[in-house]
Structure 1
Amino acid sequence: MSHKPIATLSGFSLLGGIFAYTKFGSTPSLVGSFGIGSLMLLSSMRIRDGMDYGYEGAVASSVALVIPTLRRTIKTRLPVPATVCALATASTAYYISALSEFKKHAI
């Protein structure tokens, strides 16, 4: 499986946080997006390099992004958080599938 979806989502997370900060002055969104985006980037590099816990990190960071973006989508009904939430949900499903395939072949 590829490391590129989580790397791309890392960029979207960062852009979403920057957007929320510039539009609404939301410092927690900026800090949170940089934290989650950094974990996603680390997971991407671990998957790319074949290191342990890359897929697990991708699943955890994707889920960590779904929760606040879903709340923000429901609250604001804006397209940016809705798009980031949809991408994070797709990433979660993708990396859960990748993790199960990886575990099957590891046994």
Structure 2
Amino acid sequence: MSLSTIAYILAGLTAGGGITGYVRAGSVPSMVAGCSVGLLYALGAYRIQSRATYGVELALLASVVLAGSSIPRAIKTQKPLPIGLSTLAAFGLYSFGMAVANGRMA
């Protein structure tokens, strides 16, 4: 699976999750955070796909932001949603981190 496809999938999942959080609980912070991280993933995916600079790094940044917000909550609450978000973040960190480490930017 290409890096742009991974980033687009993560963009949809995080933005969709933020919107779902707003619809189900009226949580504006969930919507803003989910859509913001989703936008970072989508922008990274677009830049990867068009072979522009900093696409992988944007997707990696989105993963770092998602991990920073979800992993501590997952550890503290042990609830399924933060654990799922942490899993997505870890997958993104691995995928985009390995690409940066190997010099594979597209």
Kept in 2, the 8 Å contact 1:12–1:84? The answer is no
Q: Deviation of residue 76 (structure 1)?
A: 4.5
Q: Distance in 1 between matches of 2:89 and 2:10?
A: 7
> What is the CA distance between 1:75 and its match in structure 2?
4.8
Report how many residues are paired: 104
Q: Tell me the TM-score normalized by structure 1.
A: 0.83
Give a deviation string over 1:3-50, Cα, whole Å, max 9, x none. 111110111101221232233322111111111111110000000111
RMSD: 2.0
Percent sequence identity is: 31
Could you say what secondary structure the match of 1:22 adopts? helix
User: After superposition, what is the alpha-carbon deviation per residue over 1:60-85, rounded to whole angstroms, capped at 9, x for unaligned?
Assistant: 11111112222443454332332121
**Conservation of the 8 A alpha-carbon contact between 1:59 and 1:91:** yes
Structure 1: gaps (5+ residues): none
TM-score with structure 2 length normalisation? 0.84
Cα contact 1:16–1:81 (8 A) shared by 2: no
